[in-house]
Amino acid sequence: MKRFLVSNQPWITLLFRLILGGVLLAAGGLKVGKPTESANATGAYKILPTDLAHLVGYALPWLEVAVGLLLIVGIMVRYSAIFSGLLMIIFIGAIASVWARGMLIDCGCFGGGGEIDPSLKSQVHRAYFTEIMRDLGLALCALYLYFFPYGKFSVEKSAQPIEEK
Amino acid sequence: MAKQVAKKADNTTRWIVIAMVSLVVVTGVVFSLFGQSSKESASIAALDGYTLKPAVTSTIDPNNGSAITFDNGAVTTIDVWEDPQCPVCKFFADANGDYLDSLIREKKATVRYHVLSFLGDESVRAANASFCAADEGQYLDFHKALYTVQSQLENSGFWSNESLVNIGKKIGINSTKFEDCVTKGSKVDLVQANSDSMSKYGVQGTPTVFINGKLWERTQNEFVLEEFKAAVENG
């Protein structure tokens, strides 16, 4: 496994850049035109004070789009990986916190958001689990990109020549 | 694992990229913020020239969850559960609010408004102000005004006690009693009593409507006046 991850590094880096960057770009892009909805969604987590939560809701879509683009084209991949890795950990924490407090909300990850009818409790809990697993997977992509930020089709290049097979 | 090293440290480019990304984010946030607050202040203008309709007295019925009750002896009873900040409640009020008003004024139905406040502080304030307006006999108009100006952003700071008093004044509720009641939060006990009664009636969200004690649900995606009317008339 480790050998595979190392020997195919340039392609895996590209793949992970596209997965992580693509998800961020999609998530941000779907929310960027609906700032109010996004601000309501972050407010619904009831973690931050309302005003601060709204501010995060306004800023997050733009940040996601920006970092998503950087990852896809391959600029500042290591920094973008650190940022998105931390972001995923925050998302996991936020969803876990909502779950632990017994709240039922739409994560608003790709738009939407807000409270959900208690009759859909089991579906919401399943969604929480899926979201945490997804964000965990994306966090692992970010971790890999932190160690190997330079791969195929990247604006930034590595100092060591990429070994071709 | 050995970390990869960049070809050469190019600090200038790095800072330019960071600056550009930050600029985009900041611009986005500023636009969103100003867009929101200007929409909210503009919405108040929609109440310009509002003429207050004749007062209708309501009672508070402790046996029915301390709802605002318009009991005119009619056989049909309608229970409406709403949170002033709930966007779907606005859709319900926009479609069916005038019809409900006419049922109350023409004594065709006993209507109980259960004012909930689970969407945060601004719901509590607006609910409190609603009970204050009910004391003036002007709940119906105040209710309508609240949904007319409702902000799309929950708890945005728009519904302060001051602006709730202002909304009242805009539609013609000028008494100092109303103002005191809103600013002092005199009705929070009733607000609490309405919230507490949710579980007793099995109400889990808003808007929830009971016609003669039976749960009514729309069959279409949107609230259509004809559908609601038919449901009321068929009991």
| Angle between helical axes of B161-171 and B139-149 (0-180°, round to 10) | 120
Q: Is A76 part of a structural domain of the chain?
A: yes
CA dihedral B124, B129, B134, B138 (to 10 degrees): -130
Q: Is A161 part of a structural domain of the chain?
A: no
Q: Is A4 part of a structural domain of the chain?
A: no
Residue B229: give its domain's CATH number.
3.40.30.10
The total number of structural domains in chain B stands at 1
pLDDT tens per residue across span A36-53? 999 999 999 999 999 899
> Domain span at residue A85?
9-147
Calculate the average pLDDT of chain B: 91
> Domain span at residue B208?
43-233
DSSP letters spanning B159-187: --HHHHHHHHHHHT---HHHHHHHHHTTT
Q: Is A132 part of a structural domain of the chain?
A: yes
Q: Which residues of B touch A7 (CB under 8 A)?
A: none
Q: What is the bridge-based pairing of β-strands B110-115 and B67-70?
A: antiparallel
Give A 7-46 residues with CB within 8 A of chain B: 32, 35-37, 39-40, 43
A159 inside 8 A of chain B by CB: yes
Below-50 pLDDT ranges, chain A? 164-165
Q: Report pLDDT for B8.
A: 62
Q: Is B1 part of a structural domain of the chain?
A: no
The total number of structural domains in chain A stands at 1
% of chain B at pLDDT higher than 70: 96
Q: Which amino acid is at A96?
A: A
Q: Say which of B4, B18, B28 has its CB closest to residue A149.
A: B4
Q: Is B81 part of a structural domain of the chain?
A: yes
Q: A157: part of which helix (H) or strand (E)?
A: none
CB pairs < 8 Å spanning A and B = 82
Q: How far is B125 from chain A (nearest CA, A)?
A: 15
Q: Is A103 part of a structural domain of the chain?
A: yes
Q: Is B20 part of a structural domain of the chain?
A: no
Nearest to A57 by CA among B90, B121, B25, B24: B25
Whether the predicted model's global pTM rises above the 0.90 cut:
no
Predicted complex ipTM exceeds 0.90 = no
Rounded CA-CA distance B178/A118 in Å is 36
Rounded mean pLDDT for each run of 10 residues along chain B, 235 residues in total: 64 83 86 84 88 93 92 94 95 96 95 94 96 96 96 91 95 95 96 94 91 92 93 89
Q: Is A157 part of a structural domain of the chain?
A: no
Q: Is B32 part of a structural domain of the chain?
A: no
pLDDT tens per residue across span B43-76? 888 899 899 999 999 999 888 899 999 999 999 9
Q: Report pLDDT for B7.
A: 62
Q: Is B9 part of a structural domain of the chain?
A: no
Rounded CA-CA distance B207/A148 in Å is 52
Q: Is B226 part of a structural domain of the chain?
A: yes
CB atoms A50 and B7 under 8 Å: no
Q: Is A16 part of a structural domain of the chain?
A: yes
